[in-house]
Amino acid sequence: MADPTPADQGAATRAIPDALVIGAGPGGLAAAAALQERGLRPLVLERAERLGASWRGHYDRLHLHTTRRLSALPGLPIPRAYGRWVGRDDVVRYLEQYAEHHDLDVATGIEVTRVERAGAGWELPATGGRVLSSPVVVVATGHNHTPYIPDWTGRNTFSGDLLHAAEYRNATPYAGRDVLVVGVGNTGAEIAVDLVEGGASRVRLAVRTPPHIMRRSTAGWPAQASGILCRRLPTGLVDRLAPYIERMSVPDLAEFGLPRPETGLYARVLDGAIPVQDVGIVDAVRSRKVEPVAAVEAFDGDKVRLADGSDISPEVVIAATGYRRGLEALVGHLGVLDGRGRPVAHGARTPPGAPGLYFTGFTNPISGMFREMAIDARRIARSASRGAVRPAA
């Protein structure tokens, strides 16, 4: 069932599932389907009222930067009618179809507050006084869980509009306005292009570290396919080859304020920064419709101080400054997170001292998040079904 009614949610307290999956996004649904295929009875718990809540909240023009064929979850291809680059609404539609196709048991409106060890298994206190138990727990609450805005000096004094990119839907409210987008990852770059096309009077893009920029597809060859190949090669080799590929596919934007990065492409990926897929940002910068500027340092009334010492006065600041995984309250007490709040193990491996606890969807791989979540799902299901919990090295 894709979107259960509140009455259906009572099933969460009546049956003891073989596995509890926290989060009904692509990672959680994939894990549940793979577990079910292995003969287990998973229950998916979703704090929102509908599955796929994170995708429902993304901006209107968003498309997967990975191909339809390489983004399908286990057991159901993405319909060909959705096109090569699947749009936000079709991703949501696919997730709904996926839950229905696999007849997944999804309980919405249930927020898990903590994962606790209980004998040989786990207990999950949840909203409504529920305490759910299972020998297996899969945490799939998502890489983009909690919007993050830096605590810039004077931020609260800004007289304009300041919002996180998570609140941005389309350019309509910003037509005719001067907008500063902070952050040049995929989200920031695409929002900047959207604002230009939507009629913003001026669009600037604050850049702290110049990104690697890749064409989403070159002569029909998707960047994702190159990313899959890169994962099989040594980091140093990829970093040596990448500059030549970038120079062949993307023009030098240094004269427009966006120089090529000095750090290696794959080394940046391993640190969590994937390349920007060009869906219009290169042309927008070359035509000077998007103006790269220095990083934001502070706010003072109607002014924004930049790292180069200059002041600008945008009417709107959109912070495309990323997210936090928000796992500390849920599992931080178990010693399963590193110093940056990331799970110390993912996929089929479980953290030391936490057998039966799995994590999926907390990396941002160059080979495509949907693809890697599908691979994780199968591996988690295989491990859980065999009872062969393999601690991380």
In Å, what is the CA distance from 328 to each residue of 146, 275, 323, 325?
12, 28, 14, 8
Which residue type does 305 have? R
**Whole-prediction pTM value?**
0.89
Cα separations in angstroms, 305 against 206, 288, 297, 302, 308 = 11, 21, 6, 10, 8
Binned at pLDDT 50, 70 and 90, residue 224 comes out as confident
308-361 pLDDT, tens digit per residue, is: 999 999 999 999 999 988 999 999 999 999 998 999 999 999 999 999 999 999
Integer Cα distance of 226 and 96 in angstroms: 30
In order, the DSSP letters of 85-99 are S-BHHHHHHHHHHHH
Q: Is the pLDDT of residue 1 over 60?
A: no
Say if CB 334 and CB 117 are below 8 A apart: yes
Phi-psi category of residue 368: left, alpha or beta, with phi > 0 → left and psi -120 to 50 → alpha: left
Distance CA 189, CA 248 (A): 21
Given a cut of 70, whether residue 390 has pLDDT beyond it is no
Instruction: Tell me what the mean pLDDT of segment 122-145 comes to.
Output: 92
- The pLDDT score that the predictor gives to residue 306 is 98
Token pair for residue 19? 């596995």
In the predicted structure, residue 249 carries a pLDDT above the cut 90: no
Confidence of residue 15 (pLDDT cuts 50, 70, 90): low
Query: Which parts of the chain fold into alpha helices (H)?
Result: 11-14, 26-37, 53-56, 88-101, 186-197, 223-230, 235-249, 265-270, 281-286, 328-331, 369-386
Q: What is the mean pLDDT of residues 209-224?
A: 86
Q: 45 or 8: whose pLDDT is higher?
A: 45
CA distances from 8 to 76, 105, 109 (A): 25, 9, 11
Residue 76 DSSP symbol: B
Please tell me the predicted confidence (pLDDT) of residue 6: 43
Q: What is the mean pLDDT of the chain?
A: 91
Average pLDDT of the segment spanning 31-35: 98
Residue 47 in contact with residue 109, Cβ under 8 Å?
A: yes
Residues near 385 by beta carbon (within 8 Å), at least 6 away in sequence: 35, 38, 39, 40
**What gap in Å lies between CA 280 and CA 127, rounded to an integer?**
44
DSSP 24-67: -SHHHHHHHHHHHHTT--EEEEESSSSTTHHHHTS-TT-B-SS-
| Whole-number percent of the chain with pLDDT over 90 | 75
Q: Which domains does the chain have, with CATH numbers?
A: 8-145+325-391 (3.50.50.60), 148-322 (3.50.50.60)
214 HSE (CA, 13 A, CB side): 24
Q: Does the pLDDT of residue 85 top 80, yes or no?
A: yes
pLDDT given for residue 360 in this prediction: 97
For the cut 80, the answer to whether the pLDDT of residue 218 exceeds it is no
Look at residue 391 and tell me whether its pLDDT is greater than 50.
Answer: no
Amino acid of residue 45: L
Query: Which residue from 179, 141, 198, 72 is spatially nearest to 343, judged by alpha carbons?
Result: 141
Average pLDDT value for residue range 199-222: 91
| Region of poorest pLDDT, from 104-118, 175-189, 257-271 | 257-271
Q: Can you tell me the distance from the alpha carbon of 302 to that of 314, in angstroms, rounded to the nearest whole number?
A: 8
Q: What tokens appear for 246 in the block?
A: 């970038």
Judged by average pLDDT, the poorest of 168-182, 263-277, 355-369 is: 263-277
**CA-CA distance, 312 to 296, in Å (whole number)?**
10
Q: What is the DSSP letter of 280?
A: S
At 92, give phi and psi (nearest 5°): -60, -45
CA-to-CA distance for 262 and 243, rounded, in angstroms?
Answer: 10
Interatomic CA distance for residues 277 and 289, integer angstroms: 18
